Amino acid sequence: MTRISARYLGKRLVVSYLTLLVIMSLLFVLIRSMPGSFIGSMITPELDQADIQQLRETWGLNEPIWRQYIDFMLNYQTGDFGRSPTYKAPVWDVIISRLPRTLILFGAAFIVQFIVGPLVGMYLGWWRGTRKDKSIFTSSLAVYSMPAFWLAWLFIWLFNYELGWLPSTYMFTKFAQFDWTVVTIVTDVLRHIALPLISIAFVSWVGAMLVMRPAMNNVTSEDYVFLAQAKGLSERTVMIKHAARNALIPVATQAIVGLAFLLDGSVIIENVFSWPGLGQVIVTSVLSRDYPVSQAAFFMLAVLIIVMRLVTDIAYTYLDPRIKFGGD
Amino acid sequence: MSTETESSSQFDSLKERWRPRIERFRRGWDRFTQEKMGVLGIIIMVVFVLWALFPDFFAPHSVEWRAYLGTEPGRLTAEQADSLPHPPAFGDPFWAPLGTNYVGQGILSLIVHAADDALYIGFAAGLLSSLVGVPLGLVSGFYGNTWIDETIQRIVDVMYGLPFLPFLIVLVAIRGITTTNIILGIAVTSWLNNCIVIRGETLSLKERSYVESAKVAGASDTRIVFRHIMPNVLPLAFVFLAQDAATAILAQASLAYLGLADFTANSWGLMLQNIKSNGYVFDAWWWLIPPGICIMLIAAAFYFIGFSMEDVTNPQEDS
């Protein structure tokens, strides 16, 4: 923390908070602009007009819109997300029971992405312009162009349908009869996570590679790399210890874009694999006009992205001692 | 007479004026064709453009065509209905090289006829997001560290906080599910990277001496931005246009998977959605694989051309 002044950190925190407020306002407007409302799914033929009015009253839809907005903004400050009309439970419970599952799957994918991507990018950037580079680069772009859900179907077809090696739905075996020990649970989850993880990671590492490759190529012409080479250090040492370390800086920025890419993937991949995570909740709640849940889910994702942006900015200073925030 | 000589001299001066540009283009083209990847991209693109322009020439049937309908009008026999979706086979009673789907449309015909949709979505969304991202990036970079820059960057921050695909779903839900709205939604959400990179480039370009001299010569800000800085960021903008086009095509396919595609249009994403909703994902490989490969190829073609352009405009010495 030595290189970051408290004043800079404070300013960034305030700006991040204000950004979040703007995002929340946008969400409120956008989600309420969708035609229809969740009341529609509750109306049954037995209900008469008075009952419908009663329903609207219960869910606070009769209040003037500015009142609803203020309530929404104030309630979120205190962590009160309201109740979900479709899940019949507090929104917080709906979100919090799904969030860990999304975090497990996409945390794993994030780690794989940022190990494989920079490694391949480092290799290609170091050998830029050679045939090795060109052929690997071209084929990885082709991989990057595959629709994620289509690839997932191919994997399910091969590994689940044809070979029967791995399960393709849910996070646990349903109605499992095994002993619930830590080992069996972990292996069960690992078996279930394998296919979704492969499907995401197979495509998404390319994003990190695309940033690492030119960054690596830029540092290869720096003096300190020549110096290291002149000292007689081995090619591999120079590449990994001297060049790659500095090429990682733009990759840290890319981490945000990569995260957003994964969140997009989460919507699709969770649907394909019936993975009971946040991405699935977002789609169903938006489509069923479940305002409280969709607002909260978007809110959680926005918080995640904003926090990650802050973290990468701070990580910069450790990767590159030349960068100094708020020093002057 | 006099008008003729005038027009020819006009033509000459026009030629004079355009010669350096044509020369530059030719040099760029020579460098571009050295990259096999870019040439591959162009070839794929040309094939798809031909498909889009002359679908009837490449497709064995029209979109309306159904297997069996030609021989036996009216109801299908039970045997015929059972054979749908029909796998590709020699000795078809009809000509469907890639088999048919569950209503008897030829897969190859559908694939060819969907090319125009993919190209339209790609180019329209790419162009639109460039039209938003590039000017904003230019302005933001040129007025770096002033309130204008700050405002634009805060807008970018806000947009970054909204996850792309879910946000797109909301936009499409608000405006209605049509191809135009999907394109608009993609453009609204995908100009961010464009804007950020162009801003960075402009920040460094505006410190160059030729911008200084233009300023001293009394050029207005607008003139400096559009006449002096913009031509230098355009190649970069083109790279992002290609990437945005590829993203748009993939995003449209994802939306289609979620059931948010224009069901009156004919697109590869919609074909995949049809396979899923009718439950043929694991039974009809001849129906599953071609649309995915087409989406992959067209997106890859955009990436290939974009990244080769980057090499052309920013040549690296070969080691």
Tokens of A295: 């607002």
Put simply, the answer to whether A287 touches B173 (Cβ < 8 Å) is yes
pLDDT band at B317 (very low <50, low <70, confident <90, very high): very low
Burial of residue A42, with CB atoms counted within 10 A of its CB: 0-12 exposed, 13-18 middle, 19 or more buried: middle
pLDDT band at A139 (very low <50, low <70, confident <90, very high): very high
Of residues B165, B193, B318, nearest to A257 (C-beta): B193
Task: Kindly report the pTM of this predicted structure.
Answer: 0.85
* pLDDT number for residue A293: 87
Chain B residues inside the 8 Å CB shell of A129 = 316-319
Q: What percent of chain B has pLDDT over 70?
A: 87
* pLDDT number for residue A1: 45
Alpha helices (H) along B35-84: 36-53, 55-58, 78-82
Inter-CA distances, B272 with B61, B99, B107, B193, Å: 20, 15, 12, 29
Buried b (16+ CB within 10 A) or exposed e, B263-289: eebbbbbbbbbbbbeeebbeebebbbb
What does the pLDDT look like over A110-122, one tens digit per residue?
Answer: 888 888 988 998 8
* pLDDT number for residue A317: 67
Q: How many CB atoms lie within 10 A of CB A69?
A: 16
Chain B residues inside the 8 Å CB shell of A243 = none
Q: Does the pLDDT of residue B72 top 60, yes or no? A: no
B36 touches chain A (CB under 8 A): yes
* pLDDT number for residue B81: 66
Task: Evaluate whether B132 touches A232 at the Cβ level (below 8 Å).
Answer: no
Helix axes A278-287, A291-319, angle to 10 degrees: 140
Q: How far is B205 from A299, CA to CA, in rounded Å? A: 38
Of residues A15, A144, A298, nearest to B303 (C-beta): A144
Greater pLDDT, A256 or A273: A273
Q: How far is B246 from B297, CA to CA, in rounded Å? A: 10
* pLDDT number for residue B61: 77
Q: How far is A19 from B160, CA to CA, in rounded Å? A: 10
Q: How far is B134 from B239, CA to CA, in rounded Å? A: 12
Average pLDDT of every residue of chain B: 82
Coil vs helix vs strand at B106: strand
> Using CB atoms and an 8 Å cut-off, which of residues 14-33 of chain A contact chain B?
15, 19-20, 22-23, 26-27, 30-31, 33
Burial of residue A328, with CB atoms counted within 10 A of its CB: 0-12 exposed, 13-18 middle, 19 or more buried: exposed
Q: Does the pLDDT of residue B52 top 60, yes or no? A: yes
Q: Which residue of A has its CA nearest to B157?
A: A19
Give how far B223 is from chain A: nearest CA, Å: 32
Task: Evaluate whether B83 touches B93 at the Cβ level (below 8 Å).
Answer: no
Chain B residues inside the 8 Å CB shell of A27 = 162
A129 touches chain B (CB under 8 A): yes
B162 touches chain A (CB under 8 A): yes
Put simply, the answer to whether A283 touches B158 (Cβ < 8 Å) is no
Q: How far is B319 from B313, CA to CA, in rounded Å? A: 18
What does the pLDDT look like over A286-306, one tens digit per residue?
Answer: 888 888 888 888 888 888 888
Which residue is it, tokens 């499992």?
Answer: A176
Give how far B155 is from chain A: nearest CA, Å: 9
What does the pLDDT look like over A87-109, one tens digit per residue?
Answer: 778 888 888 888 888 888 888 88
Put simply, the answer to whether B166 touches A283 (Cβ < 8 Å) is yes
Task: Evaluate whether A83 touches A290 at the Cβ level (below 8 Å).
Answer: no
A136 touches chain B (CB under 8 A): no
What does the pLDDT look like over B205-220, one tens digit per residue?
Answer: 887 888 788 888 887 8
> Using CB atoms and an 8 Å cut-off, which of residues 30-59 of chain A contact chain B?
30-31, 33-35
The DSSP annotation for A132-197 comes to HHHHHHHHHHHHHTS-HHHHHHHHIIIIIIIS--S--SSSS-TT--S---HHHHHHHHHHHHHHHH
Q: How many CB atoms lie within 10 A of CB A16?
A: 17
